[in-house]
Amino acid sequence: MYASMMVPVLALVCWTLVMWTWMYATRIPAMQKAGLKPAKLKEKSELDVLPRGVRQIADNHNHLHEQPVLFYALAMYSHLVGVGDPVNIGFAWSYVILRIAHSLFQATVNFIPVRFLIYTLATLCLFVIVIRNVIALLA
């Protein structure tokens, strides 16, 4: 069951929805407390009055729609061309675990040097999967 590149994809999709839920569970009450009316907002900057913790969660939700797009494409490619071997699956899971750690760290502590380290380690997982796919293509 776990021997597929698709399971880490599902796990990251599920995590993204967890962050979406956390974002709205904190953002809606904060907007109400700040007297913001969603229908009257015209710019994202109007949300800058919300507490930093609320904005950090929303920022992370946005981040889960940026680099992970590469992960999704890479995982699909690996799966479809048959390079979804145990090594790539291990790196895919490592990527997902690091992205979850990145989310939790950004949403709570948000010390940028550590957050950047987590992000970099996750990115290195993508590099390894890409390199292994290119080698398999050229072999």
Residue 92 and residue 114: Cα distance in Å, rounded? 21
Residues 69-86: tens digit of each pLDDT: 999 999 999 999 999 999
Q: How far apart, in Å, do the first and last CA atoms of the chain sit?
A: 28
* Domains located in the chain, CATH noted: 6-138 (1.20.120.550)
Q: Tell me: the pLDDT tens digits for 7-44?
A: 999 999 999 999 999 999 999 999 999 998 888 888 88
- Write out pLDDT tens, residues 80-119: 999 999 999 999 999 999 999 999 999 999 999 999 999 9
Distance CA 5, CA 37 (A): 42
pLDDT band at 2 (very low <50, low <70, confident <90, very high): low
pTM: 0.94
pLDDT at 3: 81
